DNA sequence: TGATTTGTCCTACAATGTGATAGTAATGGA
DNA sequence: TCCATTACTATCACATTGTAGGACAAATCA
């Protein structure tokens, strides 16, 4: 876990939000699906796993392996959970935008 | 004006929001100040101008030179305004996040 | 066994984010 | 008048993020 900067990138934020949103049982495929649904853009799985691993390096998410299921091809899943540090950054990102939107001339 | 992607980066979004928020008379220094105030992090001017120029290349903002003022050192300012395409991307970014936050388990 | 399915991970490159630093035009005062 | 000072914009080079395209792994089904 590397020391993290004090903010997160655009895609990193989507990934964190997706993990929180999916909740229990968030893993690669379900996270991927949540992001594609919400953003209407297609995300390569490579992009997702790379980002997940960077987020973990920075201590913003934690992951662990589950049990293999008995579905066909039911390979072991890696589950993800957002750490407190990750939630804090999510809130800060939102707060910054809210402040800017709150300026007198903001109309968006 | 290059063809833009269908989303904007984290800092780009702050810059766009700041321009909208500052409104009439948004220029380098006032935008810089708005972002630092809202985000509680210090932004180098280089980062800002580089980003402004990229946003303009992508057609998301427009800029024009103002008149020199009569203040000491009152050099010509370059004013900025967010174009419709920029506002659209701002709304889409917000919409994606809102959808993710709206998932059943979202608690943030 | 081997084709198929569900999943994860790696690699290489593009785009974005950043500090450091330079440059330009105006003013004010010795 | 000329230079220090002020207000601002701009460029460079490098770090960090974002991304596609496969490769790889393990389980099931026939």
pLDDT tens, residue by residue, A73-96? 678 899 999 999 999 999 999 999
Q: Does A93 touch chain B (CB under 8 A)?
A: yes
CA gap A32, A55 in Å, rounded: 15
Kindly report the nearest CA distance between residue B65 and chain A, in angstroms: 21
Measure, in angstroms, how far nucleotide D9 C1' is from residue B45 CA: 9
Sign of torsion over alpha carbons B5, A80, A56, A44: negative
Residue B35 near residue B43 (C-beta atoms within 8 A): yes
Higher pLDDT, B3 or B93: B93
Question: Which of A22, A8, A31, A2 lies closest to A86, judged by CA?
Answer: A8
Looking at residue B73, its pLDDT comes to 61
DSSP class of B64 = E
Q: Tell me the pLDDT of chain A averaged across its residues.
A: 90
Looking at residue A51, its pLDDT comes to 97
Looking at residue B26, its pLDDT comes to 94
Binned at pLDDT 50, 70 and 90, residue A52 comes out as: very high
Tokens found for residue B2: 């290059």
Looking at residue A36, its pLDDT comes to 95
Looking at residue B5, its pLDDT comes to 77
Which residue approaches D10 most closely, CA to C1'? B49
Q: Does A73 touch chain B (CB under 8 A)?
A: no
Mean pLDDT of A38-58: 95
Length in residues, chain B: 108
Q: Is the pLDDT of residue B1 over 80?
A: no
Higher pLDDT, B19 or B103: B19
Task: Give Cα separations from B55 to A82, B16, B18, B51, B80 (angstroms).
Answer: 32, 9, 13, 6, 11
Residue B35 near residue A100 (C-beta atoms within 8 A): yes
Mean pLDDT of A6-31: 94
Question: Which of A107, A96, A94, A100 lies closest to A20, judged by CA?
Answer: A94
DSSP class of B24 = T
Reported as a single tens digit per residue, the pLDDT across B70-82 is 676 667 899 999 9
**Residues 6+ away with beta carbon under 8 Å from A95:** none
Phi, psi of A63 (to 5 degrees): -140, 155
Strands B61-65 and A61-65 come out as unpaired
The residue of chain A nearest to residue B26, with distances taken between CA atoms, is: A105
Q: What percent of chain A is predicted at pLDDT more than 90?
A: 74
Q: Does B6 touch chain A (CB under 8 A)?
A: yes
> Strand ranges (DSSP E) for chain A?
61-65, 78-82
Q: What percent of chain B is predicted at pLDDT more than 90?
A: 72
Measure, in angstroms, how far nucleotide C22 C1' is from residue B16 CA: 27
Q: Tell me the pLDDT of chain B averaged across its residues.
A: 89
Higher pLDDT, A32 or A68: A32
């Amino acid at each position: 876990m590397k020391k993290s900067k004090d903010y997160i990138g655009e895609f990193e934020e989507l990934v964190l939000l997706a993990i929180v949103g999916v909740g229990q049982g968030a893993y690669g495929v379900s996270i991927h699906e949540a992001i594609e649904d919400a953003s209407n853009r297609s995300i390569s799985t490579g992009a997702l796993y790379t980002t997940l691993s960077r987020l973990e390096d920075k201590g913003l998410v934690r992951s662990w392996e589950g049990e293999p299921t008995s579905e066909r091809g039911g390979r072991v899943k890696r589950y993800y959970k957002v750490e407190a540090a990750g939630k804090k950054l999510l809130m800060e990102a939102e707060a910054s935008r809210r402040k800017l939107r709150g300026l007198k001339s903001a109309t968006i």
